[in-house]
Structure formats: C-alpha cells, structure tokens
Structure 1
Amino acid sequence: MILAHDGGTIPIRLACLDLAGTTIGDIAMIERAFAEAIATQGIVPGTGAYARAMVHVHRSRGCPTIDVFRGIFPDNEAQAQAANLTFERSYEGAIGRSGLIPMPGIVETLDRLRDGGVKICLITGFSRTALSRVLSALSWSDRIDLALSPEDTGRGRPMPDMVLSAVLRLGIQDVRQVAVAGDSESDMLCGRRSGASVVAGIMTGVHSRERLLKGGATHLLDSIADLPTLLLDDKMAETPVGASAC
C-alpha cells in the first residue's frame, strides 16, 4: 500500500514490469543482437560510427527497438526496418540456442504479488512477435495477467501508453493503484507520465542510479525480488521519494 496525501492508504492493484534487465537477464544477448543488426547495415565494430551507434543503443534502452534503429538511421526508414528485422532474428535465434535466464527471485515475486491481490502486466520495447517468442520461452502464462508491446498500444516508452492500456484492460480504477518497475530511464519516464504511485528503478540493468532518478524513480531497489516488500508492506509504503533499498 502507498501513503496518500490525506493520510490514508492506496492499495497497489497493478504492477507493470519491464522485461530485459528487470525480470529477465538477457542484456548481453540484446547487445549482441543490436551489434549484429547494425553490422548488416554497414556499421561494423572498430569504427567511430559503430561506437556512436552503440552509445545510442545504450541511452535508448527501454524504447521500442524500431525507434532505436530510427535514431541510428534517421533518414532511411527502409534501413531502420531492415536492421530491426535482423535484430529480431538474431535475438530469437539466441533464445533458441541459449534460452532465457529469469532474474533471481522473479518467479517468487510474481507469485507474491498475485497472492497479494496485485495484477501483473509485462511491458517491453520488443515487437509483438519478439514478445510472443519471449513469453513462450519463459512459460509464465499462469503467473501474469497481460503482456504488452508498443504495437499493442500505439506508442512505446517513454510514453505512458502501455501502462495506461494495462489500466484499462485490467479494470484498474485509479492510476494511483499502479506500480511501474524497470531498469532504464525510459521506464521511469513512462511510469511518471502514467501517474503511477510507485516508479521503482531496478538496479540490475543498463542504467545507473543517477539516470533512474533523473527519469523520475520514486524508489530504487537492488532487484525485482525486493518489489513485493515495497508494495505489500505498509511500513515500506511510507518510504520517501528517492529512498533506496540499495
């Protein structure tokens, strides 16, 4: 529960959780897929263009993958689309070869939240096709209520569309009953723009404490495994903005 301005409490009824870097640990796999994708478009390791492109990839984590490539190839939509297609093929191939590694404690986290009356929505910057492949590999269908990609809602992060769509689809009455958790600045911006009461930065991913706070994190957590305590423990609910479990 979260402490309201009037002294009462607002129960959290929906948790929107990011995938890569937050609930699954596939950061290196994604980095390689991005590198392979831009290499097919002539941007290869060892060049200044490659270094600049990978910096852009890092800064844009959490955003729709197609938007990341549009940032790298701003004047060539066909090139961006081709790179995005290569990215998806590379990533799906890696999943097929190595599988996905759930973050420590994530299964218990999902179960504790749902047992506490909190619905679960996974949100991502992946396409719907890539998201479906991830969900198939994870076999979490009985532990989540919804999973959304930017294609499902019109706009991806840092816009709030996926969170607000989850609110509507899952019948949440008040955006203050929502918690958003992720490892990137765009996750934090998405959560703040949606009106969520809790915007938790998870310190297991790509962006630093400073970037997460810059994006508007209300809390910082060592891992996703700490989220149930934050959302379900009345004392933790009173933790001030910017406080950290780190």
Structure 2
Amino acid sequence: MNSIQAPFPATPSAAASAGTDLSPLQAVIFDWAGTLVDFGSVAPTQIFVEAFATFGITLTLAQARGPMGLSKWDHIHQLLQEASIAAQWQTAFGRSPTDADVDAIYARFMPMQIAKVGEFSAPIAGAPELLTWLRAQGLKVGSCSGYPREVLNQLLPQAAAAGIAPDHVVAGDELLAGGRPGPYMALANVLALGISDVRACVKVDDTVPGIEEGLNAGMWTVGLSLSGNEVGYSPEDFAQAPQAEVNARVAVAEAKLKKAGAHHVVRSVAELPAVLQQIAAVMRMGALA
C-alpha cells in the first residue's frame, strides 16, 4: 500500500538538535487544495464536472483539471474556450459561450462547492507537522487559493481544527488586480506578513499557474507532484495504485512543473524541509530567486 511519510523534526527541540538553519528565508506561502489539504485536489475537480453537467455539458476529470490553479471564474472561462466543450455548448444552446454563461455556471458551481469542500478538508500527510516546524524556525506561513472567499470560509475552520492554520489567507476572488498567474495573491501575503524581501519567500503549489504566480512575484518556487492536481489520485486510489503507474504519473507531473519554471519539485509537503534547507544554503552563498 502506498503512503507518504513526513521525514522532518516536528518539534522545536528536535529541529534545534538537527541544526536546521533556514536563514535568510522569511516565509513560505502555500496553495491549499492539493498542497496543504485535499490530497489529489479532488474537491474542485469533481464539482466542476457536476456543475457543467447541470447545463448538459460533459467534462472529463482530465478536462476539469486542466486550468486548475486559476480563480474559479477564470477556470470556468478557460474550460469554455476548449474546442470540444465549446462545441457541446454550441449544440446545446445554439451559440458560442459568453461571459454571461461563465457567470451562470459559476453561480451554479459556488453552492455546490461550498456544500462539498468540507468533505475534502483533511490535511495532506505531514502538513500540520510542517507548519509547526516552520514556525519553530521563525518563518511566517502564508497561503492563497483559487477558491473564492465563501468557499474558504467553509474550509478554514475545519482545516484549523486539524492543524492547518496559516498566518494569512488570500482568496482567489478578493483582489481587484486578479488572481493567478499574476503575482498579486502572493504579494498580498508579503504585505500582510511584513516580509522585507520577496526573494526571501518560497511559493509552494501543485499547479502551473501557482508556480507562475510565485515566479512573477520574484519568489523561489517549489512544485508538488504526487499530492496535487497534476497526478490527481484520490487518497484511496493512491493507496491501491501500482507503483509503476504512480512513478509514471509523477514523472509527467514533475516534467510539467519544471517546464513551468519551478526551482524544485518534490512529491508532497512532507519532503519540503530538505528543499528549504537547500534554498537557504544557496541564498547564504549569494544566490537569488
């Protein structure tokens, strides 16, 4: 049976005894689904399929995952630009999809997502211990999401009860400047957390737009392959998947995230401490993001 382990000290005393030095890093800014919670980023994917189905439009899970990382309105808009989906819309409604149609699907999507997101609030293995460990090193913990604020308001209390409570949270619909792949949500964390240098921040994400967000903000970026959208296993599917299949999917995800510009790619946040130590070490030698 496949599983993820968290190979890092979970307490301040253990971290100190290990001689960890993360200076001059100041903050780590995380995505949510597929990064801190919801292994496989299952919640948003399934709801996109269900929301489109109410309009008579059939999406595959692979299609639904395609634009993941964007704000949900932008995600729906992007899906409607895909030729096969646009053709279905033309057949069903006799015209090409418009922004008003995006609004209509979004209005249908939102209550469905709000109702379901709590079912997928379980932390990814090692995530609560990681946040404890980061704070023991004196780092701030930021976060941002493609989820709208209404959805996050349902997710955050349940995640906090399970040990996932970043110092700051930015939702995908609350900045006038927009969302990913722009740098705005990441930079909003910088302002809120009082970070003095964006180059002392690490953006951690499982999607290409999330990696691009970090790069556009001038940060170090770490992509997550196995736990996130690009591999797309539910926890149950991952536990039973043949190792060769897992490795093949991970390889494809790693290549995609590296092509997007990620400085490092690991399987999940459980492997992040060693990467942060590598980044800190090269920074101390004068390297910049």
Report TM bin, short chain.
0.7 to 0.9
Residues in 2 aligned to 1:41 and 1:93: alpha-carbon distance in whole angstroms: 19
Residues in 1 aligned to 2:100 and 2:51: alpha-carbon distance in whole angstroms: 13
Q: Name 2:202's counterpart in structure 1.
A: 179
Q: Deviations over 1:30-53 (max 9, x none)?
A: 221010111122203xxxxx34xx
Q: Deviations over 1:107-151 (max 9, x none)?
A: 001111111111111110011111111102212688421000122
Q: Structure 1's 30 and 16: CA in aligned 2 closer, same or farther, altered over 3 A?
A: same
Please tell me whether residue 100 in structure 1 is matched to residue 124 in structure 2: no
Residues in 1 aligned to 2:213 and 2:120: alpha-carbon distance in whole angstroms: 28
1:215-226 map, 5 Å: 215-226=260-271
Q: Deviations over 1:44-65 (max 9, x none)?
A: 3xxxxx34xx554322111101
Q: Name 1:229's counterpart in structure 2.
A: 274
Residues in 2 aligned to 1:165 and 1:17: alpha-carbon distance in whole angstroms: 13
Q: Name 2:44's counterpart in structure 1.
A: 30
CA contact (8 A) 2:23 2:280 kept: no
Q: Structure 1's 222 and 85: CA in aligned 2 closer, same or farther, altered over 3 A?
A: same
Q: Name 1:4's counterpart in structure 2.
A: none
Q: Classify the secondary structure of the residue corresponding to 1:150.
A: coil
Residues in 1 aligned to 2:197 and 2:169: alpha-carbon distance in whole angstroms: 20
Q: Name 1:64's counterpart in structure 2.
A: 71
**Uncovered stretches (5+) of structure 2, i.e. residues with no partner:** 1-21, 82-96, 231-252, 284-289
1:200-211 map, 5 Å: 200-203=222-225, 204-207=227-230, 208-211=253-256
Residues in 2 aligned to 1:56 and 1:120: alpha-carbon distance in whole angstroms: 32
Q: Which amino acid aligns with 1:106?
A: A
Q: Structure 1's 191 and 124: CA in aligned 2 closer, same or farther, altered over 3 A?
A: same
Please tell me whether residue 149 in structure 1 is matched to residue 171 in structure 2: yes
Q: Name 2:243's counterpart in structure 1.
A: none
Q: Name which of structure 1's ranges 147-156 and 160-169 shifts more when overlaid on structure 2.
A: 147-156
Q: Name which of structure 1's ranges 56-65 and 112-121 shifts more when overlaid on structure 2.
A: 56-65
CA contact (8 A) 1:184 1:206 kept: yes
Q: Name which of structure 1's ranges 140-149 and 57-66 shifts more when overlaid on structure 2.
A: 140-149
Q: Deviations over 1:180-210 (max 9, x none)?
A: 00111111111111100x2001122122111
1:76 deviates by: 1.9
1:52-201 map, 5 Å: 55-73=62-80, 75-96=97-118, 98-139=119-160, 143-154=165-176, 155-196=178-219, 198-201=220-223
Q: Which structure has the larger Rg over C-alpha atoms?
A: 2
Q: CA RMSD in A?
A: 2.3
CA contact (8 A) 2:127 2:270 kept: yes
Q: Name 2:27's counterpart in structure 1.
A: 14
Q: Which amino acid aligns with 1:11?
A: P
Residues in 2 aligned to 1:147 and 1:79: alpha-carbon distance in whole angstroms: 29
Q: How many residues of Structure 1 are paired with residues of Structure 2 in the alignment?
A: 221
Q: Classify the secondary structure of the residue corresponding to 1:220.
A: strand
Correspondence for 1:42 among 36, 42, 56: 56
Q: Structure 1's 55 and 104: CA in aligned 2 closer, same or farther, altered over 3 A?
A: closer
Q: Which amino acid aligns with 2:174?
A: D
Residues in 1 aligned to 2:282 and 2:144: alpha-carbon distance in whole angstroms: 26
Residues in 2 aligned to 1:99 and 1:123: alpha-carbon distance in whole angstroms: 17
Q: Which amino acid aligns with 1:187?
A: G
Q: Classify the secondary structure of the residue corresponding to 1:199.
A: strand
Once the two structures are aligned, what percentage of the paired residues are identical?
Answer: 28
Q: Structure 1's 158 and 99: CA in aligned 2 closer, same or farther, altered over 3 A?
A: closer
Q: Which amino acid aligns with 1:19?
A: W
Q: Which structure has the highest strand share of the two?
A: 1
CA contact (8 A) 1:184 1:211 kept: no
Residues in 2 aligned to 1:167 and 1:67: alpha-carbon distance in whole angstroms: 24
